[in-house]
Amino acid sequence: MDYLPLFYKVKNRQVLLVGGGKVALRKANFLLRAQAKIKLVAIEVCAELEELLADKKHEVSSRAFQNGDINEASLIVAATNNIELNKQIADAAAKLNIPVNVVDQPELCSFIFPSIVDRSPLIVAVSSSGKSPVLARLLRSRLETFIPSGYGTLSVFLGDFRNKVKSKINSLSARMRFWEKVINGPAAELLLAGKPEQAETIVESMLSDFDEKELSQGEVYLVGAGPGDPDLLTFRALRLMQQADVVLYDRLVSQEILYMTRQDADKIHVGKQREKHTMEQGEISSLLVKLAKSGKRVLRLKGGDPFIFGRGGEEIEQLAEANIPFQVVPGITAASGCSSYAGIPLTHRDYAQSVTFVTGHMKNNQCDLNWSHLVQEGQTVVIYMGLIGLPYICEQLIIHGRPGDTPIALIQKGTTPQQKIYIGTLDTLPEIIREKDVQAPTLIIVGEVVALHEKLSW
Ligand code: SAH
């Protein structure tokens, strides 16, 4: 991030605004919404500004800016069309470390104004870090349409209960769950429907019935994060990602996806890299049990689909034995993601009537697969974890009867911006990639359907 997003209190504090035209007027209006005390300095002040700042609380000086003007300011906005003057103001502000915004000169700004959705006290701010204010504004208008207008009132309502809830429910995570129940339940609906008394009665009774102990049992969400592109997450995955208190993730889960989990959740990397398991499988399962028993909502986030070469089954076995509630959320497995993004349909009426997923993981320099099955005609074979074993796999397929000119694709980091596709045949692919800097994870697709890539890649 190039900027730290924050909400700054200017209520009854002095904000210096330099400039007396239409732009300054717009900024003054914005600052007044946050109840700032404005000191305006400009040689010429337009009538609307004079009128807007007529209250004694503000100060309007019709004269040239002097460096001393900034001394009392908690924030400075330069809205003049004089480039030199703007620079002078920005320099003076920098000397005293006072945040400054110079309209339309991002290089002189130490802060920028976001586009906002105002449901005060609820405020959503959007910024493109100055790159494209239009994009931020468009996004803002979309947000505008799905944040109900009553959310301001809802925030005030919830705020009024805050201390009471805090004194009744001790643990932070229990309090969070209480609030989620209120917000997702009938109390919030009634409030939005304009029935505050009924909403209040419901919250009061929820609070008196609330049993903190009931929540001492946590739960586990075993969630598939898909092959890499965050757009391929499911709605449910996203919802649980936003809700979990702790996240256990593997190497295959990208940073981008990790950023979509709850910001204040504890994040634990449990590894899973060839030969470098950061945590043993048994340790992961025990940790899941321990965390859930301490009342946490635990997200076990795995690449692709948790039940396809993900050891998802093993991880939840212990949970089931310990009677810990859990749910499993499927994800898009690498075979689906990579084949779609590479334009290689896994089945096709003319070329492949079945598809088989296998692991090419090598043990003692070989991998034990049912080769006679894999060489059957009319079949696509997808090989996970097959990069190291690729020469061996191609050789075995040929030995067992698949023609050497069968097309084969190797897809590196499928669905991500680093996706790369290598195409060859069983005879040629090992040679083609030998000199290339191929990076894991990679997926291998064998079969006639690979030839369609040329026509269907997008
Ligand atoms: N549960 C995962 C698979 C885990 S095994 C799933 O359903 O996708 C790890 C293997 O998955 C890697 O060795 C690689 O073969 C494959 N894989 C996962 N993500 C991939 C990606 N983005 N591109 C290519 N292969 C990928």
The CATH number of the domain where 18 resides is what? 3.40.50.720
Question: Which atom belonging to ligand 1 lies closest to the Cα atom of 360?
Answer: 15
Question: What is the pLDDT, as a whole number, of residue 422?
Answer: 97
- The CA 368 to ligand 1 mean position distance, Å, reads 19
Confidence category of residue 272, pLDDT binned at 50, 70, 90: low
- Show the tokens assigned to 246: 């702790």
**Are 320 and 368 within one domain?**
no
121 upstream amide cis, omega within 30 of 0: yes
Question: Which atom belonging to ligand 1 lies closest to the Cα atom of 386?
Answer: 15
Residue at 127 is within a domain: no
For 113, phi then psi, to 5°, come to -85, 135
Cα–Cα distance measured from residue 290 to residue 268, given in angstroms and rounded to the nearest whole number: 14
201's torsion region: left (phi>0), alpha (psi -120 to 50) or beta? Answer: alpha
Residue 281 in this model has a pLDDT that exceeds 90: no
Report, in angstroms and rounded to the nearest whole number, the Rg of the chain calculated over CA atoms: 30
Residue at 6 is within a domain: no
- Show the tokens assigned to 283: 């340790």
For 169, phi then psi, to 5°, come to -110, 120
Residue ending a domain, choose from 332, 358, 373: 332
Write the residue with the smallest CA distance to atom 11 of ligand 1.
384
What 199-203 contacts at long range (C-beta under 8 Å, 24+ apart), as own/partner pairs, is 199/157, 200/157, 203/161
- Is the distance from CB of 308 to CB of 383 less than 8 angstroms? no
Residue at 125 is within a domain: no
**Are 296 and 375 within one domain?**
no
Confidence category of residue 174, pLDDT binned at 50, 70, 90: confident
Residue ending a domain, choose from 332, 361, 396: 332
Residue 446 in this model has a pLDDT that exceeds 90: yes
**Are 268 and 303 within one domain?**
yes
**Are 252 and 356 within one domain?**
no
**Are 308 and 363 within one domain?**
no
**Amino acid identity, residue 311?**
R
Question: What is the pLDDT, as a whole number, of residue 86?
Answer: 96
How many domains are contained in the chain? 4
The CATH number of the domain where 162 resides is what? 1.10.8
Using CB distances shorter than 6 Å, the residues near ligand 1 are 227-228, 252, 302-305, 308-310, 333-334, 338, 384-385, 411, 413-415, 441-443
**Are 294 and 384 within one domain?**
no
Q: SS3 for 438? A: coil
**Are 309 and 379 within one domain?**
no
- Which residues, 6+ apart, have CB-to-CB distance to 46 below 8 Å? 20, 21, 22, 25
Confidence category of residue 115, pLDDT binned at 50, 70, 90: very high
Residue at 43 is within a domain: yes
Residue ending a domain, choose from 298, 332, 366: 332
**Are 400 and 445 within one domain?**
yes
**Are 304 and 242 within one domain?**
yes
The tokens 């919250």 sit on which residue?
Answer: 203
Residue 339 in this model has a pLDDT that exceeds 70: yes
- The CA 291 to ligand 1 mean position distance, Å, reads 27
Question: What is the pLDDT, as a whole number, of residue 146?
Answer: 86
71-110 pLDDT, tens digit each: 999 999 999 999 999 999 999 999 999 999 999 999 999 9
Residue at 3 is within a domain: no
**Amino acid identity, residue 450?**
V
- Residue of 302, 443, 445, 446 with the most ligand 1 atoms within 8 Å of its CB, for mutation: 443
Buried b / exposed e along 373-392 (16+ C-beta atoms within 10 A): ebbeeebbbbbbbbbbbbeb
Cα–Cα distance measured from residue 169 to residue 166, given in angstroms and rounded to the nearest whole number: 5
The CATH number of the domain where 417 resides is what? 3.30.950.10
**Are 356 and 311 within one domain?**
no
- Is the distance from CB of 304 to CB of 329 less than 8 angstroms? no
Higher per-residue confidence, 366 vs 36: 36
Which string of DSSP letters, residue by residue, matches 294-363? Answer: TT-EEEEEESB-TTSSS-HHHHHHHHHHTT--EEEE----HHHHHHHHHT--S-BTTTBSEEEEEE---B
- Is the distance from CB of 209 to CB of 169 less than 8 angstroms? no
Residue at 136 is within a domain: no
Question: For 358-378, what is the mean pLDDT?
Answer: 93
Residue 237, class by beta-carbon neighbours within 10 Å (0-12 exposed, 13-18 middle, 19+ buried)? buried
Range of the domain at 165: 151-215
**Are 34 and 89 within one domain?**
yes
Cα–Cα distance measured from residue 433 to residue 390, given in angstroms and rounded to the nearest whole number: 10
The tokens 């009319």 sit on which residue?
Answer: 378
For 327, phi then psi, to 5°, come to -140, 155
Confidence category of residue 366, pLDDT binned at 50, 70, 90: confident
191-225 pLDDT, tens digit each: 999 999 999 999 999 999 988 777 667 899 999 99
Cα–Cα distance measured from residue 223 to residue 234, given in angstroms and rounded to the nearest whole number: 10
The CATH number of the domain where 257 resides is what? 3.40.1010.10
Catalytic machinery residues: 250, 272
Q: Angle at CA 141, nearest 5°, toward 140 and 147?
A: 85
Question: What is the pLDDT, as a whole number, of residue 275?
Answer: 53
Question: For 420-432, what is the mean pLDDT?
Answer: 97
**Are 225 and 305 within one domain?**
yes
Question: Which atom belonging to ligand 1 lies closest to the Cα atom of 331?
Answer: 7
- Which residues, 6+ apart, have CB-to-CB distance to 449 below 8 Å? 344, 345, 346, 347, 348, 351, 352, 380
Residue at 269 is within a domain: yes
- Is the distance from CB of 95 to CB of 118 less than 8 angstroms? no
- The CA 442 to ligand 1 mean position distance, Å, reads 7
Confidence category of residue 293, pLDDT binned at 50, 70, 90: very high
Residue at 131 is within a domain: no
Confidence category of residue 451, pLDDT binned at 50, 70, 90: very high
Cα–Cα distance measured from residue 428 to residue 422, given in angstroms and rounded to the nearest whole number: 11
pTM for the full predicted model: 0.79
Question: For 151-173, what is the mean pLDDT?
Answer: 93
**Amino acid identity, residue 213?**
K
Work out the mean pLDDT of the chain and round it to a whole number. 94
- The CA 303 to ligand 1 mean position distance, Å, reads 7
